[in-house]
């Protein structure tokens, strides 16, 4: 069969078909693109909605958290501030420590020589623990050393940290003309200026005289070869009748030695007898177990060597006549010198014979009284062996200050001797002891 349409009709039909097909395809494309755009926009809107919801939720959470956790945040801020302040203080402390370490002076081992009047003090040695409140000479000395930056303040709790050692201990009320203390000193000044600064912070009855450099291993008591003590005693102890005290509440008793006194007054004859007959028997090596506490005859440490014992010419101090007795020995025990004076007084007043002194060195145990220690003082400490070895060293000189002898003698006269005379006038210490001594004579066990 043939075509029912004419050629123009075919064309027209073709024409009609072509536009119908092309726009449809375009429309479909448009529809697909519009759909994708719509879906894309919907997705965006949904995402925006979700984002808004999330943002709203976050804001709600933030608001909730801020409302619920305000106090902890303030606390954390406060803690952080305290931590910052602590850190700042720590850094400042560290910086200060570094500065102090840099600026801290050089520390050297030295020996310090000083004098002191021991009246009012419970001895020389510094005390710790339960006895910390007791006033001693070293407590004032250590405080003065701290004030002039010679030692660190923390070392006052235990002076052994700075290698502290003393030439010899002194008891309650005992004085010293030349005492030596060794320790590690911080040198802020030179030796002479340090002595001047130290005396500014010391009381008037304690005076520093000089400083010497010594080796690190130096110990003041072990390096000392010998010591010399001096005892200032009233002359009425050795001569004259018993001294009576006129006081309303004082009981006087008959003294059995009143009629046996060897000398009525202490003149040149009495002085010669005291030196040549009495004190000469103490010179040499003897067993002094009866002259101290808790010592037996068999103990080797009971033997002591006395080099010299001599009384000087009497002198009047404050209206009272005194005699100065010097005892030079290698070493001494507790109360040894005071008991030696008791035996000498007993012999001079006729209580015992001269032979009794030699008997006191024997095995028999004796109970000997003790003379008051108001006039006792450590006069000198000798470092002869050390001075011979170290003499001429570059920075370590001899341990003796001869140029200070005159000043020390003035200090003895003004601060110690006058104080002993004043105490005797006020308290009658030696008079009381003499009146009461023979109520408790020497006992033989």
The 8 Å CB, 24+ separation contacts for 150-153 are 150/185, 150/186, 150/188, 150/194, 150/198, 151/183, 151/184, 151/185, 151/186, 152/186
Cα–Cα distance measured from residue 387 to residue 397, given in angstroms and rounded to the nearest whole number: 8
Closest among 79, 167, 73 to 124, alpha carbons compared: 167
DSSP 105: P
Cα–Cα distance measured from residue 151 to residue 158, given in angstroms and rounded to the nearest whole number: 12
Cα–Cα distance measured from residue 345 to residue 441, given in angstroms and rounded to the nearest whole number: 12
Closest among 320, 325, 350 to 340, alpha carbons compared: 325
Backbone CA torsion sign across 213, 215, 219, 223: negative
Beta strands in 330-445 (DSSP E): 366-367, 376-382, 443-444
Catalytic residue among 140, 158, 171, 258: 171
Calculate ∠ Cα 81-86-87, nearest 5°.
Answer: 95
Calculate ∠ Cα 266-269-272, nearest 5°.
Answer: 100
Three-class DSSP category at 176: strand
Decide the pairing of beta strands 320-329 and 303-311. Answer: antiparallel
Q: Is 171 a catalytic residue?
A: yes
Cα–Cα distance measured from residue 375 to residue 232, given in angstroms and rounded to the nearest whole number: 5
- Which residues are marked as active site? 171
């Amino acid at each position: 069969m043939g075509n029912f349409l004419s050629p123009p009709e075919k064309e027209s039909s073709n024409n009609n078909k072509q536009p119908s097909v092309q726009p449809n395809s375009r429309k479909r494309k448009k529809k697909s693109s519009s759909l994708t755009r719509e879906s894309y926009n919907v997705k965006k809107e949904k995402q925006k909605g979700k984002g808004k919801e999330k943002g709203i939720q976050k804001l709600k959470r933030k608001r909730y958290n801020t409302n619920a956790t305000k106090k902890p945040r303030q606390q954390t801020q406060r803690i952080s501030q305290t931590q910052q302040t602590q850190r700042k203080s720590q850094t400042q402390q560290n910086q200060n420590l570094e500065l102090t370490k840099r600026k801290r002076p050089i520390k050297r081992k030295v020996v310090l020589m000083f004098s002191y009047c021991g009246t009012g003090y419970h001895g020389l040695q510094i005390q710790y623990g339960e006895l910390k409140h007791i006033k001693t000479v070293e407590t004032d000395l250590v405080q003065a050393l701290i004030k002039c930056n010679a030692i660190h303040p923390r070392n006052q709790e235990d002076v052994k940290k700075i290698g502290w050692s003393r030439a010899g201990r002194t008891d309650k009320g005992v004085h010293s003309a030349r005492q030596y203390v060794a320790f590690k000193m911080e040198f802020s000044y030179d030796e002479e200026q340090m002595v001047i600064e130290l005396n500014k912070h010391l009381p008037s009855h304690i005076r520093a005289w000089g400083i010497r450099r010594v080796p690190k291993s130096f110990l003041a008591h072990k390096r000392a070869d010998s010591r010399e003590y001096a005892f200032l005693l009233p002359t009425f102890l050795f001569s004259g009748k018993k001294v009576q005290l006129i006081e309303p509440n004082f009981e006087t008793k008959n003294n059995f030695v009143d009629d046996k006194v060897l000398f009525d007054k202490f003149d040149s004859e009495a002085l010669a007898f005291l030196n040549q007959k009495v004190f000469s028997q103490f010179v040499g090596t003897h067993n002094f177990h009866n002259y101290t506490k808790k010592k037996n005859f068999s103990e080797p440490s009971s033997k002591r060597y006395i080099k010299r014992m001599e009384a000087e010419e009497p002198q009047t101090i404050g209206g009272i006549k005194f005699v100065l007795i010097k005892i030079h020995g290698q070493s001494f025990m507790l109360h040894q010198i005071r008991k030696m004076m008791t035996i000498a007084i007993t012999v001079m007043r006729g209580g015992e014979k001269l032979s009794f002194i030699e008997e006191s060195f024997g095995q028999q145990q004796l109970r000997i009284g003790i003379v008051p220690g108001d006039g006792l003082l450590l006069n000198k400490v000798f470092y002869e062996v050390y001075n011979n070895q170290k003499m001429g060293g570059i920075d370590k000189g001899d341990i003796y200050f001869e140029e200070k002898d005159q000043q020390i003698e003035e200090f003895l006269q003004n601060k110690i001797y006058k104080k002993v005379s004043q105490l005797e006038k006020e308290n009658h210490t030696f008079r009381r002891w003499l009146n009461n001594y023979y109520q408790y004579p020497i006992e033989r066990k």
